[in-house]
Amino acid sequence: MEVGQKVRIRRLRDRVSELVAKRLGQVGTIQDYKMTDGSGVGVLVQFEDKFATWFFDDEIEVVQ
């Protein structure tokens, strides 16, 4: 996955706020990468309404 790619939120690994939970199934754009727990990498995803948050790479899928 690369910065600028469109991705769909396909699942949520952990409990999250309602604001994040309603993003399930939505499409956003990868803005950056984030170190998660010392060994994992997450991605920062921004949506059309300018809301941005990070997801684990197994929570998203690339939109063609």
Interval 15-53: pLDDT, tens: 899 999 999 999 999 999 988 776 778 999 999 999 999
Residue ranges of E strands in the chain: 6-9, 27-35, 41-46, 52-56, 60-62
How much is the pLDDT for 37? 73
> What's residue 61's pLDDT?
96
Pair type for strands 27-35 and 41-46: antiparallel
Name the one residue in this structure whose structure tokens are 């706020």: 17
Instruction: Judge if pTM exceeds 0.85.
Output: yes
pLDDT bin (cut points 50, 70, 90) of residue 7 is very high
Note the helical H segments in the chain: 18-21
Taking alpha carbons only, the member of 49, 54, 53, 20 closest to residue 37 is 54
The pLDDT confidence band at residue 64, using thresholds 50, 70 and 90, is: confident
The predicted structure's pLDDT at residue 1: 85
